[in-house]
Structure 1
Amino acid sequence: MGSISSSVIISDIDHKADKKSRRFRNIQLTIFLSGLSVFAQLYLFQPLLPTVAKDFKTSIGDSSWLVSSSTLGMALGLFFFAFQSDSFSRKKQMLFALLTSSCLTIASAWIESLPLLIAMGVVKGFVIAGVSAVALAYITEEVQASVIGLAISMYLNGNTIGGMSGRMIATVLDGEIGWRNTVMIIGLGSLILALIFWKYFPDSRFHQPQKIDFTLKVKQMRNFASDPYMLRLYFVAFLSMGTFVSIYNYLTFRLESPPFSMNHLFIAFIFLMYTLGVVGTTIVGRLSERMEQRRILQVCIVLMLIGVLLLLSQRLFIVMIGLALLTLSFFGAHTMASKMVALHAQEAKSTATSLYWLFYYFGSALLGSGSGYFLHATSWSYFILLLGIVVLISYFLSLRKMKII
């Protein structure tokens, strides 16, 4: 009986994708393309906000909901899929998300009502969450343990490059052909990526759809939400992500205005700063093996604060240094906080990380738009000071002795 069990286990391992197999190469390619598509669409409207605000004759805060709606939908979708993902086929869920989201993006080019466009953003974000909710689970199930890290890095690189390239392409095309044509082109590009995914993404071999114990899930979420340690980290995610998105939402407005008056082609290259996110993640990943994790998180948050305050300057090179420091340290803080959440959860790690992502994207949506209304009512200086206070609060939350009631 024991020998039969052993042979089954060995057989299962042999069938998992290894580095030299065609199956692994297909997984790498398609998982990269899925990340590329998701994050290109998720933040598509971020560099388009000034143009859209003018087109709809609306305020900065109102237009920002085009970004916040997608991230709000993403948060709601991740919460939903935390309960339902294991009930569906991995490939069918991801394919549905990629095809539907790209069609919604294409349709957005013809919407004449801002409220309807925002509502569509919520639906698109909800659908897109179907990819993010299971991508990492699929990799750990289908790929040999020795190359899981390589496959995950491809997915995360797709996320980063998708977010960066989507913003850059949108900024350049917006200045040349207008925001509606820009949205249509990115939607068509995402549709092509979805079709490639459909053809080459391997079906799951090690996952069978199954029913979920909802009562157990709710109990697990309640336990994590009442844990002061986890709650502090969740609010750090909320505040830091909200700050980061707020800066990138409205910096374009700032740079297009005096004293900078920058051309859209130059503004597009600012989104290359996202490459520093990869650097920040890598540095923190290495330091976390040798230093206390809480200290690393606190250092990252302090560097975020310095980066934010440098954005008060009217000198472009100082603003760029501040943006670089903010981007580098934010991704470092995010990497460290998410790792601390996963490590602190002794069981039900997927539930713990689902709550983390829920706070993360709610921060993007709520603080990302709320700060826009504040900017519209005051000035850039007060806006930056507000975000500085937000980052300072997240620093105090990272202190071990800080209590949350």
Structure 2
Amino acid sequence: MSYLERGRPDYLRATLSLFAGAFVTFAILYTTQPILPDLSRQFHVSPTAASLSVSATTGALAISMLFVSGLSDIWGRKRLMSASLMLSAVLAIVVAASPSLPVLIALRAVQGIALAGFPSIAMAYVNEEFQPASAGRAMGLYVSGTSVGGMVGRIITGALTDAFSWRIAVLTLGILSMLIAVSFWTFLPRPNHFSPRRLSVGQQLARLKMALGKPELVGVYGLGFLLMGGFVTTYNYVSYDLTGPPYSLSQTWVGMIFLVYLTGTVSSAWMGRVADSLGRARSIQISAAISLIGIAVTLADGLVWKIVGLALFTVGFFGGHAVASSWVGRLAPQTRAQASSLYLLFYYTGSSVIGAVGGSFWSQYHWPGVVVLVGGLFVFAIALSGWIGHAVAARA
């Protein structure tokens, strides 16, 4: 059976479908991020409490990752990914009617469970179905979909919140996501290199143990934790910074700030190619260094510098994530689904934990406190990627 490779129609269908699925996942996952100040005002809660509407979703998603790979082994990759996208879209419509913050947080947690059926399985699909020489580019395009989804979702939410309300904004995004979920099911090619199989609990645990067996692979999981923790913390609290003095931007203009995600769309594909020539460890170090420069630039006075800094920060994050996520498949060829799930478990745990902790840094030290926290995470990521590179070379 042939693999998906560049130049074939099914390759284009597959990459565009995965791009669309990633778009839906990230648009829904961070729906409430740009409207956190509005949630704080409407429900009379602190920024830390409002941020739980993001952390609850990513935390539930992270935990659910442990079980999703086993379900996909039984039910099938395409079927599970399609069901995940459709259910999460339906739940987005329900979230729009939340009567209180506790109810909204609970629904967002359920939404996180539903979303768990897409990200890790999509990574496994890429590693299984694409010809190896094309897999890196396909993964880069998939990660580009996450950046575009995050960007467009935030822009739509911000603009519609200003024009109508945050409820109308979330409802609209849910309907759009339902339409995209239908197209995903229609156009994604059926897997040719996967056969559904029923594994016992013991076999599932054994596969998870194998996916945790290499220290360097666990190190890559740690990179996901650090990179995503810093990324979500930055974008959780930059909304508070930009809607307050001296900027006092409207939700529409705060949403437009997320156009810097376009830089991530380019950098994820570009850094995937750089990794082939410089190596994955060096590429991640370069990406993290770019993010460090960017987050430091946001401390300068003036809105222009804030935007430039966020753009650089986003370039580095998406480049590093694209390389780290593709590294997982290389280091765990026999347990790709489980390793992908564990990577994303750490990835979204970082989003949930560090994103919530960042609220304390914001409350006590405002934006400089957030910058110090995020900068420390990316310095650690540079050191960790260097160690992983040496460990991989030593094992080889």
TM-score scaled by length of structure 1: 0.86
Provide the aligned length of Structure 1 versus Structure 2.
390
What's the CA shift for 1:148? 6.0
What's the CA shift for 1:107? 0.6
The residue number in structure 2 matching 1:368 is 355
Task: Report the 3-state secondary structure (helix = DSSP H, G, I; strand = E; otherwise coil) of the residue aligned with 1:289.
Answer: helix
Moved more, 367-376 or 172-181: 367-376
* CA distance, structure 2, for counterparts of residue 302 and residue 287 of structure 1: 15
Moved more, 116-125 or 145-154: 145-154
Which residue among 360, 377, 389 is the counterpart of 1:390? 377
2:100 corresponds to 1:125: no
1:105-132: CA deviations, max 9, x gaps?
1011111121221121111111112122
The residue number in structure 2 matching 1:59 is 46
The residue number in structure 2 matching 1:96 is 83
Q: CA RMSD in A?
A: 2.9
Structure 1: which amino acid aligns with 2:250? N
Which residue among 212, 218, 227 is the counterpart of 1:225? 212
Aligned pair in 2 of structure 1 residues 293, 13: CA closer, same or farther (>3 Å)? closer
Q: How does 1:277-316 map to 2 (within 5 A)?
A: 277-316=264-303
Contact 2:144 2:266 in 1 (8 A): no
The residue number in structure 2 matching 1:261 is 248
- Decide which structure has the larger Cα Rg and report it: 1
What's the CA shift for 1:202? 5.2
What's the CA shift for 1:103? 1.3
> Where does structure 1 lack aligned partners over 5 or more consecutive residues?
1-11
The residue number in structure 1 matching 2:394 is none
The residue number in structure 2 matching 1:189 is 176
Aligned pair in 2 of structure 1 residues 281, 83: CA closer, same or farther (>3 Å)? same
What's the CA shift for 1:30? 3.8
* CA distance, structure 1, for counterparts of residue 377 and residue 15 of structure 2: 38
Which residue among 234, 242, 245 is the counterpart of 2:232? 245
2:67 corresponds to 1:80: yes
> Where does structure 2 lack aligned partners over 5 or more consecutive residues?
392-396
1:46-101: CA deviations, max 9, x gaps?
11111111111101011111111221122122221122211003343223212211
What's the CA shift for 1:251? 0.6
Aligned pair in 2 of structure 1 residues 350, 192: CA closer, same or farther (>3 Å)? closer
Aligned pair in 2 of structure 1 residues 184, 135: CA closer, same or farther (>3 Å)? same
What's the CA shift for 1:44? 0.9
The residue number in structure 2 matching 1:175 is 162
Contact 1:19 1:147 in 2 (8 A): no
2:21 corresponds to 1:47: no
2:351 corresponds to 1:351: no
What's the CA shift for 1:194? 2.6
The residue number in structure 2 matching 1:7 is none
